[in-house]
């Protein structure tokens, strides 16, 4: 049912009835590109499961994630408001299912129904806020804090503690080397905050992981909660702040130890 997507669930029944006949069930495969920067968007996407990364591509071919969308929002929603070209590349991070809606229908319903138009605008503002926070985070915070924040946000948009991600993809989205992600992921695992094996990640201690993350996670989480109350996962509401010093210091100590082992061997 469409109400498995939180944006669709927000809509009044009268608006949802207008959309339902044009919503097409779709499977999304990991690595699938929904559209690229400069493309004319022909469909917008409402995820029910899985996650999509919005990325900025550099001339070197490097991609850096600016925002992430799952069952909490819509991919390409701005195209329902005007005919501008896509401003970013949308690539499926974790495969799942959802709905596609042709942009002509989306624009027609947005013109006819203020509730749909306002909902799209509200979600586009959230995505912009996420992109702005990500830029500040990348410039100001350590990789330890950024990876913890990124894993927590992935957990939120998926609605599960367990997911499939490669270190190569995490490194690409964070704009760092794979070896750097490998070291930090190992320290988080050594601290018991996550478990990681052959691409399978499980967040074992979400509250402790929030203490290891930077303030950006709670900043974005608070903004989303003001728009709608997403179903909270257990342990998903830690107090805002830069994180608990004891947790960060323990991770830093583990990282130093692991770096030494990495350099000199066993």
DSSP state string for 47-69: ESSSEEEEEEEPTTS-EEEEEEE
Taking the CA atoms of residue 111, residue 69, residue 46 and residue 84 in that order, the dihedral angle to the nearest 10 degrees is: 40
Contact 54, 66 (CB under 8 A): yes
∠ CA(39), CA(41), CA(42), 5° rounding? 130
pLDDT of residue 70: 94
Query: Mean of the pLDDT values across residues 153-173?
Result: 91
Gyration radius (Cα) of the chain, Å: 19
3-class secondary structure for 75-126? ECHHHHCCCCCCCCEEEEEECEEEEEEEHHHHHHHHHHCHHHHHHHHHHHHH
CA atoms 215, 218, 222, 223: torsion sign: positive
pLDDT of residue 249: 47
* pLDDT tens per residue, range 63-108: 899 999 999 999 999 999 988 789 999 999 999 999 999 999 999 9
Chain centroid to Cα 36, Å, comes to 18
DSSP β-bridge partners for residue 35: 90
pLDDT of residue 238: 39
Q: Does domain 2-138 have CATH number 2.40.10.10?
A: no
Contact 52, 68 (CB under 8 A): yes
Question: Of the given ranges (128-142, 167-181, 248-262), which has the lowest mean pLDDT?
Answer: 248-262
Query: Mean of the pLDDT values across residues 2-26?
Result: 89
Phi, psi of 38 (to 5 degrees): 95, -15
Kindly list the distances between the CA atom of residue 103 and the CA atoms of 106, 142, 145, in Å, as whole numbers in the listed order. Answer: 5, 40, 38
pLDDT at 52 over 90: yes
Architecture of domain 141-264: Orthogonal Bundle (1.10)
pLDDT of residue 129: 93
Q: Answer yes or no: same fold for 2-138 and 141-264.
A: no
* pLDDT tens per residue, range 190-248: 999 999 888 899 999 999 999 999 999 999 999 888 776 544 454 544 333 334 444 44
Q: How confident is the model at residue 260 (pLDDT cuts 50, 70, 90)?
A: very low
pTM of the model: 0.82
pLDDT of residue 256: 38
Kindly list the distances between the CA atom of residue 98 and the CA atoms of 28, 73, 106, 145, in Å, as whole numbers in the listed order. Answer: 8, 11, 16, 31
- CB-CB neighbours of 118 under 10 Å: 12
* pLDDT tens per residue, range 112-150: 999 999 999 999 999 999 999 999 998 899 999 999 999
Q: Would you kindly state where each structural domain of the chain is located, as residue ranges?
A: 2-138, 141-264
DSSP string, 217-231: HHHHHHHHHHH--PP
pLDDT of residue 112: 95
Short-list 37, 35, 41, 52, CA closest to 107: 41
Short-list 136, 22, 43, CA closest to 90: 43
pLDDT of residue 1: 35
Between 253 and 91, the higher pLDDT residue: 91
pLDDT of residue 224: 84
pLDDT of residue 228: 62
Contact 82, 124 (CB under 8 A): no
* pLDDT tens per residue, range 17-47: 999 999 999 999 999 999 999 999 999 999 9
């Amino acid at each position: 049912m469409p109400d498995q997507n939180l944006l669709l669930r927000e809509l009044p029944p009268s608006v949802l009835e207008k959309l339902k006949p044009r919503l097409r069930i779709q499977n999304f495969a990991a690595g699938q590109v929904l559209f690229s920067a400069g493309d004319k968007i022909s469909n917008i996407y409402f995820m029910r499961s899985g996650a999509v990364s919005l990325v900025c591509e550099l001339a070197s071919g490097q991609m850096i994630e600016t925002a992430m969308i799952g069952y909490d929002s819509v991919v390409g929603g701005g195209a329902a408001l005007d005919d501008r070209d896509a401003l970013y590349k949308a690539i499926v991070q974790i495969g799942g299912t959802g709905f596609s809606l042709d942009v002509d229908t989306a624009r027609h319903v947005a013109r006819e129904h203020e509730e749909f138009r306002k909902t799209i605008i509200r979600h586009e503002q959230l995505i912009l806020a996420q992109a702005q926070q990500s830029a500040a985070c990348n410039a100001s915070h350590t990789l330890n804090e950024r990876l913890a924040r990124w894993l927590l946000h992935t957990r939120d948009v998926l609605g599960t503690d367990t997911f499939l991600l490669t270190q190569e993809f995490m490194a690409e989205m964070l704009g760092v080397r794979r070896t750097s992600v490998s070291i930090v992921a190992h320290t988080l695992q050594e601290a018991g905050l996550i478990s990681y094996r052959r691409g399978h990640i499980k967040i074992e201690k979400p509250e402790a992981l929030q203490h290891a993350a930077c303030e950006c996670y709670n900043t974005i989480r608070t903004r989303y909660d003001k728009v709608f109350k997403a179903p909270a996962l257990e342990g998903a509401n830690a107090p805002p702040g830069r994180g608990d010093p004891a947790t960060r210091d323990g991770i830093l100590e583990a990282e130093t130890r692991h770096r030494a082992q990495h350099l000199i061997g066993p």
